[in-house]
Amino acid sequence: MKSNIFLITSEIIIMALMPYLNGSLAQNIPEYLYDRGTGTPTSQFGTYVRKGELLIYPFYEYYNDKDFEYEPLDFGYSSTKELRGNYRAHEGLIFFRIWYF
């Protein structure tokens, strides 16, 4: 529990200091660009990449539903009776973005 609080606190502090760490406040850029600098937006909300940067975002998600409702008709069978069963799924994604021009 203490390690979770430490991680959350550290992330908040780092996020608050990011505009100062990347030097965007020291540059002569408009105020509306302070949160992203001169980067280009990616398809992920609030994520920007500047020239020479590489962005790698791995993502993993796990589902476990022990009371999943389904109808065999949804899978091509003739029965319309509702059934229940276990449902587990894993989803893994990785997002790459590089701007080198």
Q: Is 48 found in the same domain as 21?
A: no
Q: Is 52 found in the same domain as 21?
A: no
Q: How many CA atoms lie within 13 A of 57 on its CB side?
A: 12
Tens-digit pLDDT profile for residues 35-91: 777 778 888 777 888 888 888 889 999 999 999 998 988 888 888 899 999 999 999
Q: Is 65 found in the same domain as 33?
A: no
Which residue range is the domain that position 66 belongs to? 39-101
pTM above 0.95, yes or no: no
* Number of domains the chain contains: 2
Element (H, E) at 6: helix 2-21
- Read off the tokens for 10: 């550290």
Q: Is 72 found in the same domain as 29?
A: no
- Contact in structure between 24 and 48 (CB atoms under 8 Å): no
Q: Is 45 found in the same domain as 31?
A: no
Contacts of 44 (CB under 8 A, 6+ apart): 57, 95
Reported as a pLDDT band with limits 50, 70 and 90, residue 22 is low
